């Protein structure tokens, strides 16, 4: 099983070559590529023109080569956009940013872009489906998957809602980045895999603590209620071999990665 991280943990603080060097030195196999780089702070997701497409193919290709030269695989690409919003102008902009991400993903060396569905609300799920109907033909054209992260506060809040979207849209380019912590308030880990296993392309690794009134908080992996031993068992059973750490800092990554590597070693050695 391959362990990676979200590159933004480093690229928001270090130039690309140094970020790649540090990630590789920490022993990671691959990365979820960022749309936030210190070299292009005016084009980060904090600005109005959010989305990796605005970085340009030359920047993307240079970034890919720097990470590959460090021995890292570039897996999927940050492209988080609100696809279910009620404001049609903003939603159209989000769709355009998703399309821009699809157009540039291969330049980053990625076979998928990653997003959440957007905040829930009346008819939010239907608006998400409509957005995806605009995005998925470009995904097919570019041969790049769109991975959705189901999340409890989003318009795709559970494994069953994600399965419904997959059935409704009927595209092999609609895939899942499963973050168990995001939907632990609704779904057991076993149910997540039984419902979505055939569509899971990548995994996220953070944790979840469900507190009073069932409101979750999200610490680093190993600090909450996710059953990581069972999660890794199910990944192994279903041939899902890429796990990406998020919700960690540079100074805590060694501890988080050590915990996950210990679980992986225990499962693979049993």
Domains and CATH numbers, the chain: 2-269 (3.20.20.150)
pLDDT bin (cut points 50, 70, 90) of residue 47 is very low
The predicted structure's pLDDT at residue 43: 61
Q: In the predicted model, is pLDDT for residue 27 greater than 90? A: yes
Taking the C-alpha atoms of residue 243 and residue 40, their distance in angstroms, rounded to an integer, is 27
Judged against a pLDDT cut of 90, whether residue 213 lies above it is answered with no
| Per-residue pLDDT, 41 | 66
* In the predicted structure, residue 44 carries a pLDDT above the cut 70: no
Per-residue pLDDT band for 42 (boundaries 50, 70, 90) equals low
81 Cβ contact partners less than 8 Å away, ≥ 6 residues apart = 50, 51, 94, 95, 97, 98, 115, 118
**Tens-digit pLDDT profile for residues 188-206:** 999 999 999 999 999 999 9
pLDDT band at 115 (very low <50, low <70, confident <90, very high): very high
**Distance in angstroms (rounded) separating the CA atoms of residues 51 and 84:** 16
| Predicted TM-score of the model (pTM) | 0.95
Alpha carbon distance 7, 267 (integer Å) = 26
- Residue found under tokens 């980045």: 177
Position of tokens 């054209």? 141
| Pairing of β 209-210 and β 216-217 | antiparallel
For residues 74 and 30, what is the distance between their CA atoms, to the nearest angstrom? 6
Helix axes 228-237, 253-269, angle to 10 degrees: 60
State yes or no: pLDDT of 212 exceeds 90.
no
Report the percentage of the chain scoring pLDDT > 70: 96
User: Average pLDDT, stretch 117-136?
Assistant: 96
Q: Is the pLDDT of residue 270 over 70?
A: no
Instruction: Give the mean pLDDT of the chain.
Output: 94
152: left (phi over 0), alpha (psi -120 to 50) or beta: alpha
Q: What pLDDT band is residue 121 in, cutting at 50, 70 and 90? A: very high
Sign of CA dihedral 193, 195, 197, 202: negative
pLDDT tens digits along 141-162: 999 999 999 999 999 999 999 9
């Amino acid at each position: 099983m391959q362990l990676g991280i979200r590159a933004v943990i480093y690229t928001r603080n270090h130039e690309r070559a140094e970020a790649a060097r540090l990630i590789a030195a920490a022993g990671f196999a691959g990365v979820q590529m960022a749309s936030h780089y210190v070299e292009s702070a005016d084009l980060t997701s904090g600005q109005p023109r959010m989305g990796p497409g605005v970085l340009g193919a030359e920047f993307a290709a240079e970034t890919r080569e720097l990470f590959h030269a460090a021995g890292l695989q570039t897996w999927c690409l940050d492209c988080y956009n609100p696809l279910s919003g009620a404001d049609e102008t903003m939603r159209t902009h989000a769709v355009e940013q998703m399309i821009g991400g699809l157009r540039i993903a291969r330049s980053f060396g990625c076979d998928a872009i990653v997003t959440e569905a957007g905040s829930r609300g009346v008819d939010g799920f239907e608006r998400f489906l409509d957005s995806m109907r605009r995005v998925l033909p470009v995904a097919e054209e570019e041969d790049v998957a769109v991975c959705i992260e189901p999340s409890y506060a989003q318009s795709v809040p559970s494994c069953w809602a994600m399965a419904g979207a997959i059935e409704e849209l009927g595209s092999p380019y609609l895939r899942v980045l499963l973050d168990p912590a995001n939907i632990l308030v609704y779904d057991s880990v076993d149910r997540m895999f039984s419902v979505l296993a055939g569509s899971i392309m990548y995994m996220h690794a953070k944790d979840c603590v469900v507190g009073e009134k069932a409101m979750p908080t999200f610490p680093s992996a190993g600090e909450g209620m996710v059953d990581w031993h069972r999660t890794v068992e199910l990944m192994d059973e279903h041939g899902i071999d890429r796990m990406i750490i998020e919700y960690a800092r540079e100074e805590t990554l060694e501890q988080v990665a050590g915990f996950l590597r210990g679980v992986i070693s225990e499962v693979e050695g049993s």
